[in-house]
Amino acid sequence: MKISRKTILNVLLMAFVLSFFVTPLGYHGKILLNRIFSFSPDVIEVNEEKRITDYNWKLKDANWEFFNFENSRDNVVFINFWASWRLPCAAELKSIQNLYDSYKNKVDFYIITDEERLPVEAFMKENKFTFPVTYLIIGERTPLTLLEPPSSYIIDKKGYIRVEQEGIADWDNKTIYNLLNELTEQK
C-alpha cells in the first residue's frame, strides 16, 4: 500500500497542531503568539483620567514583609496584576522586564500577584525575571479597581491614572517610553 504525499503532509500538519496542546513546544508557541498579537496600551487623555487620592494600601514585598503603597505617593508608578498560571500574563512579563530594566531607578514598579510565594519564586527563577514581585493581600482595600490578570496601570506623580489596561499589552515600546519619560521629568 502506497501512502500519498498529501496523506503524509496531512499527518504532519495534524501532529504539528497537536503539539500545541500536549508538548512544551505548544506552551512556548502560544506565548510567542500572544506576544506577537499584543499591542501598546492606550494612554488616557489628560482631561479624561481618574485620580487616586487614597494611597493607603497594604501589600507584601518579595521577602513577605508588609509595606504600604503610601511610599509611592508623588512618584510615577507602574502596576501590573498577574498570575504565573495565566498564559497571557506569562507572555506579557518579558516586555515588563524590559521596561523595568529601563526605568527601575525612575519609576516605582508593583508587579502584583495573589499567589503563594514558593511557586512565584520558581516561576521568576525559571524565566530569569528580576523585577520586584509584590504580593496582594486578599480582602485588603485598594485604591484601584482590581481587574482580571493581566491588567496594568501607569500613575503619574499627582496620582492621575494615565494608562488603565485590561488584558495583555506590549510595554516595551516607544509610546510607553515617551510617556514615562514625560511623566518622570514632570515636577
| pLDDT confidence tier of residue 65, bands split at 50, 70 and 90 | very high
| Mean pLDDT, range 80-105, rounded to an integer | 93
| Mean pLDDT, range 117-131, rounded to an integer | 95
Provide the mean pLDDT of the chain. Answer: 88
**15 sits in which H/E element:** helix 5-22
| Mean pLDDT, range 124-133, rounded to an integer | 95
Distance, CA of 46 to CA of 161 (rounded, Å) = 9
Distance, CA of 12 to CA of 143 (rounded, Å) = 52
Any idea which of 21-35, 56-70, 87-101 has the lowest mean pLDDT?
Answer: 21-35
Whether 118 and 169 map to the same domain: the answer is: yes
> Residue 30 is part of which domain span?
5-34
Name the more confident of 148 and 133. 133
Count of domains observed in the chain: 2
Q: Kind of pairing, strands 108-113 and 161-166?
A: unpaired
Whether 158 and 177 map to the same domain: the answer is: yes
Name the more confident of 144 and 31. 144
The winner for highest mean pLDDT among 22-36, 46-60, 164-178 is 164-178
| Mean pLDDT, range 138-149, rounded to an integer | 86
Whether 116 and 149 map to the same domain: the answer is: yes
Whether 27 and 79 map to the same domain: the answer is: no
Q: What are the strands, taking DSSP E only, across 132-180?
A: 133-136, 151-155, 161-166
Whether 58 and 91 map to the same domain: the answer is: yes
